[in-house]
Amino acid sequence: MRVAVGMSGGVDSSVTALLLKEQGHEVIGVTLRFHTVEACEVNGTHNVCCSPKDVQDAARVAKRLGIPHLTFSWEKIFKSRVIDYFVKEYLRGRTPNPCAVCNREVKTGFFARYLKQVAEIDKLATGHYAKIEKEGEHYVIKRPKDRKRDQTYFLSLVRKEDLPLLTFPLGDLTKEEVREIARKHGLEVANKRDSQEVCFLMGKSPGEYLEEIVGKREGLIKHVSGKVLGKHEGVYRFTIGQRRGLGVSYGKPVYVVELDPKTNTVIVGEEEYLYNDKLLVRDINFHVPMEEWKEVSAQIRYRHKPVPVERIEKKDEGYIVKFREEVRGITPGQVVAFYEGDKLLGGAIIEDAVK
């Protein structure tokens, strides 16, 4: 089988390539370059991915493994499909998930389709901690052995038609097992730190990054009662559920409960205002047809515990997801991933909480 491996220069993708070569596949290392700057060294530590140094690390590993290595300069594609989307969403008062969108539009789903067309690959392998299996007529993604590294949430927007082109060889391994394999084979990246930031932010917070692009956009911070509590320098500096850094005093803890970009207002309130049992999505990216969904749970943020879903109703405006209990901090722009046990059923982008 001809397998392209998306090599980021880290230990996970490096071991992915090693394992596939050991299995006897024709392996080609491929790296996407999104940045040509050297600004990825943050506070003296290398903790963001896709930098020029990462490209060099990927090439070194490929050479050591004896496989060809190709680099694709996709700065313009990445900017138009991920960075521009990120900026527009924040300016709409939403909190986007650029990694999930990137997996769909650039480095995973789309890249697999592209390589199928131009290089006739059978599969694109990545270092995601996830499993992919065929069940009946469907390819489905499942949670991995290493639950602490579970990346299925970020794959929930990948299109169903792209799933047959993907493989995740690390699904049955833990992170420490992966590092041990790398050390055993003398890979230089065996102890390389994981990427910890959104790559294009270069160590900045979203607010700092956006201020450099659009400047300060001052507005009011109001309590849900309508009382003005202070001013802010841009709604893009805030997200639903935020408590720290508000710069206002109310005599008791308050949290961001709504962002109104039309009036440039940040609305805060007590924690009780963060809870709701319904949300709206415009569309759902189905990995499994909805008529086959049974005991469904939904995860509204990466680190959130999945919550049982009572029902999903199709309406003119989209789908209303009703939970069996109230959840905290439903955030427009974030991803909601749907599961049945360990199986990923699909995902969607949250439009809003429903009162």
Q: Is 102 a catalytic residue?
A: yes
Burial class (CB in 10 A: 0-12, 13-18, 19+), 138: middle
Write down the catalytic residue from 40, 50, 99, 102.
Answer: 102
Give the CA radius of gyration of the chain: 21
Strand 343-353 to 138-142 pairing = antiparallel
Residue pair 280/318 in contact (Cβ under 8 Å)? The answer is yes
- Residue 182, judged by CB atoms within 10 A of its CB (0-12, 13-18, 19+), counts as buried
**Joined tokens for residue 49:** 């991915």
Please check whether residue 6 is in contact with residue 127, taking contact to mean a CB–CB distance below 8 angstroms. yes
Of the residues 40, 50, 99, 199, only one is catalytic, namely 199
DSSP strand E in the chain: where?
2-6, 26-33, 41-42, 45-46, 69-73, 123-125, 131-135, 138-142, 166-167, 219-223, 228-232, 255-260, 265-269, 275-281, 285-286, 297-299, 307-315, 318-328, 335-340, 343-353
50 belongs to the catalytic site? no
Q: Where in the sequence numbering do the catalytic residues fall?
A: 102, 199
